[in-house]
């Protein structure tokens, strides 16, 4: 396991060969955590390569995700090399006139196009993640606030945006730095998703029952006695209860109704 912490990419080593060398070393070590191996691989990459920038913008979850994303990056690089070779053959000047060396403006334009393509690719990766996103019952800032003292969080990656381009009005408690809020923290979102997949923080998954400690349990709450409360109210009050007078009256029947009742009584007597 110590060799895995000491391995680094060489100065002129291609990322593809270094990835194969890193995977071979992982296979030699037994019971290696794929999440830990993925973090060590990203940290050991040389700065300036397209693979390093891709994995830093959106941190991977495990080595399987690194292999899939690395294959896409290598295909892009191979496509660029083939396109450059074709363009060089088509627009090749005569042998007597060698092509002029690239100027600073050409290098700057090439870097700007590379950054634009990388930004488009990272957006596509965010829109279609490898693992299905788990829905929460509460916002992720509430999850972090209730569990920030537990030893389950990994150290977040540093924010790569330059300090002069960050929003000073937004502060992330997870990164302890300006630029965004806890609700919009992608690194915190990835860690919460990984913890829920590993069986932790399952009480915040949508569809599961979460114990509510803010409200008392209705089963343990005493049932109010209506009769006792009325009795105590009458005994404690100084004024006596007032009696409401009820009016009773007899409805007078009409002549037709009286004849009908008489006939009905006669019929009952005959039946008896």
Taking the alpha carbons at both ends of the chain, their separation in whole angstroms is 109
The answer to whether the Cα torsion of 233, 238, 240, 242 is positive or negative is negative
For residue 17, what pLDDT is reported?
Answer: 86
Residue-level pLDDT, tens digit, the chain, 272 residues: 777 777 888 888 888 888 888 888 888 877 788 888 888 888 888 887 888 888 888 888 888 888 888 888 888 888 888 888 877 777 655 556 666 777 777 777 787 777 676 655 544 444 444 567 788 888 889 999 999 899 999 988 888 888 888 888 999 989 989 889 989 898 999 999 899 888 888 888 887 766 544 444 444 445 444 444 444 444 444 445 555 555 545 556 677 778 888 888 888 888 77
pTM, rounded to two decimals: 0.33
């Amino acid at each position: 396991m110590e060799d895995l912490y000491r391995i680094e990419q060489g100065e002129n080593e291609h990322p593809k060969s270094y990835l194969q060398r890193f995977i071979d070393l992982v296979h030699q070590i037994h019971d290696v955590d794929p999440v830990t191996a993925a973090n060590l691989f990203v940290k050991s990459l040389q700065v300036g390569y397209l693979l390093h920038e891709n994995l830093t913008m959106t941190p991977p979850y495990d080595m399987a995700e690194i292999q899939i994303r690395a294959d896409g990056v290598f295909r892009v690089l191979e496509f660029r090399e083939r396109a450059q070779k074709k363009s060089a053959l088509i627009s090749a000047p005569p042998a007597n006139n060698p092509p002029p060396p690239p100027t600073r403006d050409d290098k700057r334009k090439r870097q700007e196009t590379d950054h634009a393509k990388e930004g488009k690719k990272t957006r596509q990766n965010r829109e279609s993640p490898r693992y299905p996103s788990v829905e929460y019952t509460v916002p992720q800032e509430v999850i972090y606030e209730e569990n920030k003292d537990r030893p389950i969080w990994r150290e977040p990656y540093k924010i790569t945006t330059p300090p002069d381009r960050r929003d000073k009005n937004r502060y992330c408690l997870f990164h302890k730095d300006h630029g965004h809020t806890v609700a919009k923290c992608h690194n915190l979102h990835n860690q919460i998703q990984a913890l829920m997949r590993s069986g932790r923080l399952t009480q915040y998954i949508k569809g599961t029952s979460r114990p509510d400690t803010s409200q008392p349990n209705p089963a343990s709450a005493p049932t109010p006695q209506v009769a006792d409360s009325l009795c105590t109210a009458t005994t404690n009050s100084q004024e006596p209860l007032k009696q409401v007078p009820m009016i009773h009256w007899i409805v007078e029947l009409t002549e037709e109704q009286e004849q009908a009742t008489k006939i009905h009584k006669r019929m009952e007597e005959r039946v008896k």
